[in-house]
Amino acid sequence: MKTNIVLLASVTASFALAACQFQAGTGPQTPATPAAPGAGTTPGQASIPAPPAKAPPERVANMRKIGLAGVVSKTPKMKDVLAGGGGTTPTGPTAPTSPTTPPTTPPAPAEPAIVTAATPFGGGDAKEANFLGSIYEITSTDKLHDLGTLKPIGTLFAKELNVPSAPFTEGFAGVTKKAEWFAIRYEAPLTVTTAGDYDLTINSDDGAVVYVNDQKIVDNDGVHTATEKTGPVHLDPGTHSLRIDYFQAAAGPVALQFYCNKMGAAKVLCTGKL
């Protein structure tokens, strides 16, 4: 009987000790929560986790973007980050960029060749020239083409336009050997010192048209032998734009003579001054 009492007391004490250990949190049933590194907690003290990090206010995020804007040019990848709006840097490896081919500038179109020898229509020396002539190849026609839509193949210069009626077979040295189906556009300043009425006269084989300030003054167009026409015009003092379009059809005689003078006065070969 005495032995049973001692045994019961021992068991009771063991249960009491276990209960105390369980309540204090040191028993094996409740493992201690590991303390955060560097928290300096004492053994047995409860560890309170830190609250989750809050997203920065929108104005703070904006301030960060402004701060990064200064390095976009120095850090090419940063530009992509900001453009995406996420503000996070890609963590994966960046794919290599293939080299770009620099844009190529198309070559400038070749300038029309300048005639290398004198012709009845002009030559290659611009020193004393008053007229600049652009040479065109044309297709079969019975009137002038719109030369502004064509590309000139050559250039020549003339002091005046004085081609009396005569055969033409030599072509334009350095430009083309063609002596037929060609056109020339002559351009020159027309300087007028005194306001007045003037006569502009053109003699041509084949067609020719005279313009002043893009206004048609004399129309001698068409396929014909040497034919002369005059157009009156009132001109104010100043420098005007003079243009003469001429074409030669099938092979044969050519002619191109241009005169300008006071109305009623004798004809004078025009040099661009009145």
State pLDDT tens for residues 107-154. 666 788 999 999 999 999 999 899 999 999 999 889 998 999 999 999
Cα dist. 211→10, 44, 189, 201 in Å? 135, 110, 12, 11
Give the pLDDT of residue 181. Answer: 95
Burial of 182 (0-12, 13-18, 19+ CB in 10 A): buried
Give the pLDDT of residue 110. Answer: 73
Beta strands (DSSP E) in 99-206 are: 113-114, 131-137, 154-158, 162-167, 182-192, 196-205
Residue 61 belongs to a domain: no
Give the pLDDT of residue 231. Answer: 96
Domain that holds residue 240: 113-262
Give the pLDDT of residue 37. Answer: 46
Tokens 């037929």 -> residue: 180
| 202 and 210 Cβ atoms separated by less than 8 Å | yes
pLDDT band at 95 (very low <50, low <70, confident <90, very high): low
Residue 160 belongs to a domain: yes
Tell me how many domains the chain contains. Answer: 1
Quick: pLDDT tens for 175-214. 999 999 999 999 999 999 999 999 999 999 999 999 999 9
pLDDT band at 99 (very low <50, low <70, confident <90, very high): low
Residue 88 belongs to a domain: no
Residue 105 belongs to a domain: no
Q: Global pTM? A: 0.61
pLDDT over 50 at 253, yes or no: yes
Give the pLDDT of residue 160. Answer: 96
Residue 34 belongs to a domain: no
Taking residue 27's Cβ as centre, other Cβ atoms within 10 Å add up to 14
Residue 99 belongs to a domain: no
- Residue 196 sits in a domain of what CATH number? 2.60.120.260
| 171 and 207 Cβ atoms separated by less than 8 Å | no
Residue 212 belongs to a domain: yes
pLDDT over 90 at 21, yes or no: no
Strand-strand pairing, 154-158 and 113-114: parallel
Instruction: Report how far residue 247's alpha carbon sits from residue 216's, in angstroms, rounded to the nearest whole number.
Output: 16
Residue 232 belongs to a domain: yes
